Amino acid sequence: MATKIVLVGAGSAQFGFGTLGDIFQSKTLYGSEIVLHDINPASLAVTEKTARDFLAAQDLPFSVSATTDRKSALQGAEFVIISIEVGDRFALWDQDWQIPQQYGIQQVYGENGGPGGLFHSLRIIPPILDICADVADICPDAWVFNYSNPMSRICTTVQRKFPELNFVGMCHEIASLERYLPEMLGTPFSNLQLRAAGLNHFSVLLEASYKDSGRDAYPDVRAKAPGYFERLPGYSDILAYTRQHGKLVETEGSTERDALGGKDSLYPWADRTLFKEVLEKFHHLPITGDSHFGEYIRWAYEVSDHRGILDFYTFYRNYLGHVEPRIELKLKERVVPIMEGMLTDAGYEEAAVNIPNRGFIKQLPAFIAVEVPAIVDKKGIHGIKVEMPAGIGGLLSNQIAVHDLTAEAVINGSRDLVIQALLVDSVNDKCRAIPELVDLMIARQSPWLDYLK
């Protein structure tokens, strides 16, 4: 019987075309039935036609259909992949970032952590819960892979509402290790054994060794990282380059230095001045730059590369506005290897999945979704226990209450719990203005936050 894979949010060309290319390059998935779903019929039709034309041109053995009826799409699904947003993504993101700052809350980015991450969560989790309710009713044994952010808050809330659902969060930030460590250490990535863990966008490299010798590679990482990252170009360099040359720079799959022809940065520790502090004071390498890691730390505002963060946001916004997505027979994300691993009983170790913390990180409770390595086989995804150093564990522990209250605020539609979520968040140091801030955001982000009473 053909494997049925449903893409929810497939009207987004960035997600739809990219995921289809990942699937189409997989011989293990040959013969699969791909169902495209979106609430926008016009954009969905574009993705469907592009997919059909591509399959015909490449003579590949897949079937593709499309529907705006989610319940119909999910019938018989074995795998469901979700990537959605609501409303005008960047206009709402601007509000998430800027309005809390106007009230004096020093947050560095506003997407996944801090107040911005909270309001982003409050908008996007309800429709994802609706999708999951249909999965639980129609195809309860399906594996559901989520690419939407804020990843850890989405996964935490879904697992609280639907504890029996096979729901897994996927993020490509772990791929940064593949881009940087071989160049830094002077060895192929295939010669490195690595493990990283934490919360999504708040993870660190925990273990590193050389496969050929079995020698611990972390002393080399600590010794070489400062000289490497101090000179590595960042998004201020990339934005300047794109403006000077009038063309977009593709940064995924290569280091920023490669993208700019080998040049060093004009700015020491570009995108990584917070990263530098974490490396020096906690002695572990973050797997993300300041924009992501800094969203979860109160003192990050003091030491983050704000110019780099603002230039990254500008570049990213321009890139998505001008890039022309296309289907390519090239593996870019990790969900297809996971599906292959389940279908073939591979038993391989996947570098990072977001799943409920069943003892994988001792400093965190079972209800919170953690990002850990896992074994993938025909029975599913099995997280691996890691040893989290006390200092990093302390940073992670600051997120326990805010994740708990975010989930409760969404599930109960409670304005009071939103206020409490902000008041327990370590990024926030304000009190009296918080109810007004919450009311303003509910009003500005209507109708998505109207359910909060």
Please tell me what DSSP assigns to residue 295: G
N- to C-terminal Cα separation, the chain: 47
Report which secondary-structure segment, H or E, holds 277: helix 273-282
Name 81's bridge partners. Answer: 7, 145
| Contact present, 125 and 132 (Cβ < 8 Å) | no
Specify whether 172 is catalytic: yes
**Which of 233, 368, 202 minimizes the C-alpha distance to 311?**
233
3-class secondary-structure state, position 320: helix
Contact yes or no for 270/290 (Cβ under 8 A): no
Looking at 172, 201, 245, 292, which residue is catalytic? 172
Q: What is the CA radius of gyration of the chain?
A: 21
Helix (H) or strand (E) holding 179: helix 176-185
Q: Residue 396 corresponds to which tokens in the numbers above?
A: 């992670």
Rounded to an integer, what distance in angstroms lies between the CA atom of residue 217 and that of residue 210?
A: 6
- d(CA 52, CA 64) in angstroms, rounded, equals 7
C-alpha 210/C-alpha 185 separation (Å) is 10
Q: Are 134 and 181 in contact (CB under 8 A)?
A: no
Strand-pair partners of 354: 169, 371
> Residues 6 or more apart from 184 whose CB is under 8 A from it?
221, 224, 225, 228
Among residues 19, 17, 8, 47, the alpha carbon closest in space to that of 131 is found at 8
202, 291 contact by CB (below 8 A): no
Residue 438 CA to residue 443 CA, distance in Å, equals: 9
The C-alpha atoms of residue 238 and residue 56 are separated, in whole angstroms, by 38
Residues with catalytic function: 172
